[in-house]
Amino acid sequence: SQTIHQWPATLVQPVGSPLSLECTVEGTSNPNLYWYRQAAGRGLQLLFYSVGIGQISSEVPQNLSASRPQDRQFILSSKKLLLSDSGFYLCAWKGSIGAYNSPLHFGNGTRLTVT
Amino acid sequence: DAKTTQPNSMESNEEEPVHLPCNHSTISGTDYIHWYRQLPSQGPEYVIHGLTSNVNNRMASLAIAEDRKSSTLILHRATLRDAAVYYCIPGTSYGKLTFGQGTILTVHP
């Protein structure tokens, strides 16, 4: 069966420090991968998505970047964190075959607090 | 992207059916309607999706209006574990799903 791993679960980082959040998927090949962010009390915002290795689409200009160095690995990074980067970061995947209507599967998320 | 309108909140009693409405009047003819729910401090969980016909699974039923401008998620017997934020989302290319504010469902014992 397919599983998605996301770590760490919680993270407290000072302003100006770098960030690296990792997400890996097991049990499937060539998944579509997504990074979402949820600010406190608000809906989810799509940040990045990828349909293949090295392919990244950015939805919102911001202080973050994403990379997909391997088929089932998706990394969210920042060189210098801002206070506004605080939030709940969620990685998700869906099968590439029939991607139009196959469901999204989310990880358990990383709660990032920038101080 | 199609816009959706959902009530901010709804309440139900345990063991009673719950009908969660969603308006998506600008949905395109090929967009599926997806429903997810999110429990506190967790990632969203897929509930159900459909295109034109009503759909059923072990979690819920989805009733889609004939003109596809609205749909209703039906929980047949609400439990306390069904208390969550429910999102109605039209699907788009590459599976990009845009989450709105959703409906906060409160279930009373």
Per residue in A75-108, pLDDT (tens digit) is: 999 999 999 999 999 999 988 766 567 788 999 9
What pLDDT does residue B2 have? 65
Of A46, A51, A106, Cβ closest to residue B98: A46
Contact B102 A43 (CB under 8 A): yes
pLDDT tier, A1 (very low <50, low <70, confident <90, very high otherwise): confident
Residue located via tokens 């004939």: B66
Neighbours of A10 (CB within 10 A): 11
d(CA A101, CA A98): 6
What pLDDT does residue B92 have? 63
What pLDDT does residue A100 have? 62
Closest Cα to residue B74, out of B86, B62, B85?
Answer: B62
What pLDDT does residue A79 have? 95
- Positions of chain B with pLDDT lower than 50, given as ranges: none
Amino acid type, A104: L
Nearest CA-CA distance, residue A46 and chain B, Å = 7
Nearest CA-CA distance, residue A109 and chain B, Å = 6
Of A42, A43, A108, Cβ closest to residue B43: A108
User: What's the mean pLDDT in A5-9?
Assistant: 93
What pLDDT does residue A95 have? 83
pLDDT digits (tens, 9 = 90+) for A11-59: 999 999 999 999 999 998 899 999 999 987 778 889 999 989 999 998 8
